[in-house]
Structure 1
Amino acid sequence: MGEEYKAKIFKSGNSLALRLPKALGLADGEEVVVIPHNDGSFSFWKQDQSQEILLGLYGSMSAGFMSDGRGDVDQADRDWGDDGGATAAA
């Protein structure tokens, strides 16, 4: 695992901002993707690395992943009838 950094959250207008150390190698104005996890932690990466991150997930699941299927997934009935003209013209 790499070096550990601390960051500080502060108020910026009506939002919260996260001040990250320059040592992380992010440039001013660079966009990042932030993913919150159920345990309260977050993952983030540079937006231009999204494809690399996604491809890195390939093969990372255990051999038994979903071996029992998806389980019971309730699906709501859908009305495929008239949508009030919301369908885009072809």
Structure 2
Amino acid sequence: MGNEYRAKVFKSGNSVALRLPKALGLGDGDDVIVAAHDDGSFSFWRSEDGAAILLSLYGSVSEGFMAEGRGDVDQSARDWASGDDAAAA
């Protein structure tokens, strides 16, 4: 685990804002993604780091992953005009 930092939440107009320490390396105007977790905690990262974060969360994929596309996917024909909602359940 890395360093721990304390941050302050304050009112900004009709919203609340989070004042983060400069030591985190974020700059004025950086685009940040914030993810709330079920346990009440939060994670955040720069939006341009999204692909790297995704791979770190869900594991890496092999270099040739989907190099040849998805392949054929069989799907049955649907009658969208019938209004039968049973298939959606």
- TM tier relative to shorter chain: 0.5 to 0.7
Query: C-alpha distance in 2, partners of 1:80/1:8?
Result: 52
Alpha-carbon distance, 1:56 to partner: 1.5
Tell me the equivalent position of 1:27. 27
Report how many residues are paired.
64
Q: Deviations over 1:23-43 (max 9, x none)?
A: 000010101100000110001
Query: C-alpha distance in 1, partners of 2:37/2:55?
Result: 20
Query: C-alpha distance in 2, partners of 1:8/1:24?
Result: 14
Could you tell me which runs of 5 or more consecutive residues in structure 2 were left unpaired when the two chains were aligned. 61-78, 83-89
Query: C-alpha distance in 1, partners of 2:15/2:41?
Result: 19
Letter in 1 for 2:81: G
Query: C-alpha distance in 2, partners of 1:32/1:57?
Result: 17
Alpha-carbon distance, 1:57 to partner: 2.3
Alpha-carbon distance, 1:55 to partner: 1.4
* TM-score, with length taken from structure 1: 0.64
* TM-score, with length taken from structure 2: 0.65
Query: C-alpha distance in 1, partners of 2:16/2:81?
Result: 44
Could you tell me which runs of 5 or more consecutive residues in structure 1 were left unpaired when the two chains were aligned. 61-78, 83-90
Letter in 2 for 1:33: I
Query: C-alpha distance in 1, partners of 2:31/2:81?
Result: 41
